[in-house]
Amino acid sequence: MTATLIDGKASAATLRARVAAHVTRLREENGLTPGLAVVLVGEDPASQVYVGAKGRQTVEVGMASFEHRLPADTAEADLLATIRALNADPKIHGILVQLPLPSHLDSDLVINAIDPAKDVDGFHISNVGLLGTGQKAMVPCTPLGCLMLLRDLHGTLAGMEAVVIGRSNIVGKPMASLLLGESCTVTIAHSRTRDLPAVVRRADIVIAAVGRPEMVPASWIKPGATVIDVGINRIPAADGKTRLVGDVDFAAVSAIAGAITPVPGGVGPMTIACLLANTLTACCRAHGLAEPEGLTA
């Protein structure tokens, strides 16, 4: 391996420590405790794991965690009533509705019912619009985490060629907006892109957010490029169990890239750390207090 390993676990630990230190200061100087409410509808096993991890880390940084676990057949009106109650609760500064929702619920309607100031996932249409127009927004956690890793590595990103593979609303599109905000030259690729290998080969920065195990081979990567692998894919392992891999062929690409994130241990840990950072930011904004430097875009 010649590439520098981008240690998302270590960066996430550093970010959580900064958040925790600021939370202590808020409590001591302002008598405030940031509060994060997570709403989970149904019993999707992966979602339960994520919600558990979010709750634990929220408490570890000194914030208040509120979990609302609702049955899979919850009526939309009842879910909206829960969100209205959280919007009105001054103890709650951040609200996250765990996706995906059961199919009888309209995700757009539900997400857009969250007070945009408390929308710590950054999925509300107001925050999407603010980010897209370069204004102060709540920024989606995964792309924010990727941006922090890139800034730590490179300092300024201005003028770099960035290719984002994937155009989802939660990763690809906000990632492209953030990179444009950093004055990168940005290309968004997707399943209909013609000659994807040639497009990716132009990139100084590759963001892979597709959900296809190890689809990006070394031959697509410009020597020295920085590769951020957002993908989380579970595949069968030799011992009959399963293991996690990204969207990038890590072993081969790390021989040619300049820097690369591993899976697991790259972008994943940054996502929850950024959720905590967003909750702290939302709390500071709600109370008209100065935001800590460098916790958002």
Give the active site residues. Answer: 54, 98, 121
Rounded to a whole number of angstroms, the minimum distance from the CB of residue 281 to ligand NDP is: 19
Q: Please say which residue, 111 or 284, places its beta carbon nearer to ligand NDP.
A: 111
By CB under 6 A, what part of segment 17-76 binds ligand NDP? none
Q: Please say which residue, 98 or 142, places its beta carbon nearer to ligand NDP.
A: 142
Contact 57, 19 (CB under 8 A): no
By CB under 6 A, what part of segment 165-194 binds ligand NDP? 165-168, 170-172, 189-193
Q: Is 8 in the site for ligand NDP (CB under 6 A)?
A: no
Rounded to a whole number of angstroms, the minimum distance from the CB of residue 146 to ligand NDP is: 9
Using the structure block, give the residue that is written with the tokens 């800590």.
Answer: 292
Stretch that binds ligand NDP, among 123-131, 226-234, 236-244, 279-287 (CB under 6 A): 226-234
When binding is defined by CB under 6 A, the residue of 196, 218, 244, 286 that contacts ligand NDP is 196
Strand 94-97 and strand 35-41: the pairing is parallel
Rounded to a whole number of angstroms, the minimum distance from the CB of residue 226 to ligand NDP is: 16
Query: Token pair of 162, please?
Result: 């960035």
- Of all residues in the shown chain, the one whose CB is closest to ligand NDP is 168
What angle is formed at CA 253 by the lines to CA 14 and CA 162, rounded to 5 degrees? 70
How far is residue 188 from each of residues 136, 194, 200, 218, 229, measured CA to CA in Å?
23, 12, 10, 20, 15
When binding is defined by CB under 6 A, the residue of 11, 57, 226, 271 that contacts ligand NDP is 271
Per-residue b/e over 243-271, b at no fewer than 16 CB within 10 Å?
ebbbbbbbeebbebbbbbbbbebbbbbbb
Length of the chain: 297
When binding is defined by CB under 6 A, the residue of 34, 62, 231, 258 that contacts ligand NDP is 231
DSSP 216: B
Q: Tell me the backbone φ, ψ of residue 67, rounded to 5 degrees.
A: -110, 135
Using the structure block, give the residue that is written with the tokens 């000659």.
Answer: 195
CA 152, 18, 295, 232 torsion-angle sign:
positive
When binding is defined by CB under 6 A, the residue of 65, 268, 273, 275 that contacts ligand NDP is 268
C-alpha 261: how far from chain center:
14
Rounded to a whole number of angstroms, the minimum distance from the CB of residue 32 to ligand NDP is: 28
How far is residue 189 from each of residues 123, 131, 148, 203, 247, measured CA to CA in Å?
21, 20, 22, 12, 14
When binding is defined by CB under 6 A, the residue of 12, 40, 147, 210 that contacts ligand NDP is 210
When binding is defined by CB under 6 A, the residue of 27, 151, 212, 285 that contacts ligand NDP is 212
Rounded to a whole number of angstroms, the minimum distance from the CB of residue 123 to ligand NDP is: 11
Stretch that binds ligand NDP, among 25-33, 54-62, 63-71, 159-167 (CB under 6 A): 159-167
Burial class (CB in 10 A: 0-12, 13-18, 19+), 29: exposed
Size of the site for ligand NDP (CB under 6 A): 25
Rounded to a whole number of angstroms, the minimum distance from the CB of residue 186 to ligand NDP is: 15
Note the residues at the interface with ligand NDP (CB under 6 A): 142, 165-168, 170-172, 189-193, 196, 209-212, 230-233, 267-268, 271
